[in-house]
Amino acid sequence: MNETVTVRTQKIKSNHAKRRLCVFLVLTALLLLTALFSMQLAPYDPYAQNLEEAMQPPSVRHIMGTDQHGRDMFSRVLVGGRTSIFATLALVAVISVFGTCVGTLCGYYGGKLDSVIMRISDVCLAFPGLVFAMAVAALLGGGISNAVLALAVVSWPKYSRVARSQTLALKDGPFISAVRLAGSSSIQVVSRHILPNILGPILVTAMLDIGTMMMELAGLSFLGLGAVPPTAEWGNMMSTGRSMLQMYPWIVLSPGIGIFISVVLFNLLGDTVRDYLDPRNSRSR
């Protein structure tokens, strides 16, 4: 009796997680599609200046108003989203792949190389990320790709830490021993058996990281270390509008809404993915 009850609640729970996952996946897909086709969706040319219509408050014609050059804010937020979102996704993809590879190899082979790389990543983790990234970005010069690079340099250790500890937990376990006895080479052991087994935690880390990375990237742009005007990007749009915050708040608020929606959405997606992969939600294959 008791058993059936737990089985049923588990089932309901996992159904619930599945439904939530679907909802957020659809919303995220919408966001990505909007970003992808922003040029086509934008009602006005985001770069066309029209000084006669500068600093217009939100209205029916310009639902997010216009900026100091008379450019339509809504179009700029849409197009700026493409830069912000895809730069963030590229950043997270690069650091998660790179960090995972480094961490897995360090964990599996150990030795001197492992100690050296782990000390380097300790150093990276010891500084506040954004401050370190600012230093690196300043060194590299402006531009969105340099900002991505700067954040990548300081953010990969998080992934290598996760991958390394997961690998260490697996590598002396009985099933890796059995795989070795089957005559698999180290490369095969890592690629066929270790990586697939540690992918879950890495994926969750990456999903939850998208929001943070988006904020940090916008932060770098805000400080003038990322995308340079006139390129539309949420961070630098907020930066150019900050001096006009009191008089013309929509210039800052519009890209702010973009950042807010995307960060919240990616965080919620990350949370649901984590819930979904949680082993307590017994999955049926």
**Position 175 contacts other proteins (CB under 8 A):** yes
Return the structure tokens found at 257.
Answer: 């809404």
Quick one: 141 or 183, whose CB is closer to other proteins?
A: 183
User: Can you give the three-state secondary structure of 35-48, one letter per residue?
Assistant: HHCHHHHCCCCCCC
**Position 285 contacts other proteins (CB under 8 A):** yes
**Position 128 contacts other proteins (CB under 8 A):** no
**Position 182 contacts other proteins (CB under 8 A):** yes
**Position 184 contacts other proteins (CB under 8 A):** yes
Looking from the CA of 83 toward its CB, the CA atoms found within 13 Å total 26
Helix H segments across 143-281? 144-171, 174-181, 186-188, 195-222, 234-241, 250-277
Q: Determine whether 101 is exposed, middle or buried from the number of CB atoms within 10 Å of its CB (0-12, 13-18, 19+).
A: middle
Span interacting with other proteins, options 21-29, 89-97, 126-134, 182-190, rule CB under 8 A: 182-190
Quick one: 203 or 223, whose CB is closer to other proteins?
A: 203
**Position 169 contacts other proteins (CB under 8 A):** no
Contact 31, 272 (CB under 8 A): no
**Position 281 contacts other proteins (CB under 8 A):** no
**Position 69 contacts other proteins (CB under 8 A):** no
**Shortest Cβ distance from residue 277 to other proteins (Å)?**
13
| Helix H or strand E encompassing 64 | none
Looking from the CA of 135 toward its CB, the CA atoms found within 13 Å total 8
Quick one: 98 or 276, whose CB is closer to other proteins?
A: 276
Max Cα distance, the chain (Å): 77
CA atoms of 27 and 118, how far apart (whole Å): 38
By CB under 8 A, the residues from 192 to 221 that bind other proteins are: 193, 196-197
Return the C-alpha torsion angle 175, 195, 19, 3, nearest 10. 10
Quick one: 180 or 274, whose CB is closer to other proteins?
A: 180
Quick one: 60 or 187, whose CB is closer to other proteins?
A: 187
Under rule CB under 8 A, how many of the chain's residues touch other proteins?
A: 17
Binding test (CB under 8 A) with other proteins, winner from 2, 4, 40, 185: 185
**Position 111 contacts other proteins (CB under 8 A):** no
